Amino acid sequence: MKTLNIRYFQHVSFEGLGCIEKWAQLNGHKLTSTKFYEDAYLPDINNIDWLIIMGGPMSAYEEDKFAWLKEEKKFIRQAVENGKTVIGICLGSQLLAAALGAKVYPNKEKEIGWFDVELTLDGKDNKLFKEFESKFKVFHWHGDTFDLPQGAVHLAQTDNCKNQAFLYKDKVLGLQFHFEATEQTLADMVENGKSELANGSFIQSEAEILNSRNYIEANNSKMFEILNRLSQVE
């Protein structure tokens, strides 16, 4: 595996790379970041191999509140057009979908907690998810959803939210859920998002979320496998 220059976009202090940071360190990759809550410095597109876009409580369409969103989406589109490997997680997947021309909008209900995600037929056959179980528990924290970008392959869904994962041109991956969550990032999200843990059909309590930490290891293992497989795509 060659050494990669990985740039990640972080939108709030409590939603970092999670286990992706460990994977990068274990494989000797170089990590640099743009932290939009501190500054909006964007790199030279020619100096990165991968772009990873993390989550956050804002919406992809809130450009009036977060001025940097417009330039961020423009850069994401540029990264895709330049053949970079791009991964969007939660808000990151919504920004990726928007950058590819798809609509992002509020889902009918928020989805917060550990819920099953099910692979589509294309997901089961896809090289990134091949040999995964057809249904498995993942951590969700989102109120928005998106239409599938034109030309993208639909990989996963839940009862509450149809578009949970997609792949575009073999190396551009959107994940609505959090494979990357560690015990620390899970605790950080709960601590900073307690106000959202209200009554809802797909909203778990703080105790339910934190008492399901036994799923983290399997989720992180899947994240590692996907990252390894993406690193083999030319």
Decide if pLDDT at 39 tops 90: no
If one counts the domains in the chain, the total is 1
Q: What is the CATH number of the domain that holds 184?
A: 3.40.50.880
For the question of residue 178 being annotated catalytic, the response is yes
Tokens 């056959």, located at residue: 125
Share of the chain above pLDDT 90, in %: 95
DSSP state of 62: -
Q: CA-CA distance, 204 to 88, in Å (whole number)?
A: 24
Of 140, 142, 154, 178, catalytic: 178
Nearest to residue 227, comparing CAs of 78, 43, 31?
31
Task: Return the number of other C-beta atoms located less than 10 Å from residue 13's C-beta.
Answer: 12
Sign of CA dihedral 132, 138, 141, 143: positive
DSSP state of 205: -
Of 90, 111, 140, 154, catalytic: 90
Decide if pLDDT at 1 tops 80: no
Q: CA-CA distance, 23 to 155, in Å (whole number)?
A: 23
Confidence tier at 199 by pLDDT (50, 70, 90)? confident
Question: Per residue in 52-86, pLDDT tens?
Answer: 999 999 999 999 999 999 999 999 999 999 999 99
* Whole-number pLDDT of residue 38: 93
Average pLDDT over residues 114-135: 96
Q: CA-CA distance, 117 to 70, in Å (whole number)?
A: 30
Over the chain, what is the mean pLDDT? 96
Nearest to residue 184, comparing CAs of 8, 21, 39, 27?
21
For the question of residue 191 being annotated catalytic, the response is no
Confidence tier at 200 by pLDDT (50, 70, 90)? confident
Task: Return the number of other C-beta atoms located less than 10 Å from residue 34's C-beta.
Answer: 20
Domain encompassing residue 157: 5-230
Q: CA-CA distance, 109 to 30, in Å (whole number)?
A: 38
For the question of residue 90 being annotated catalytic, the response is yes
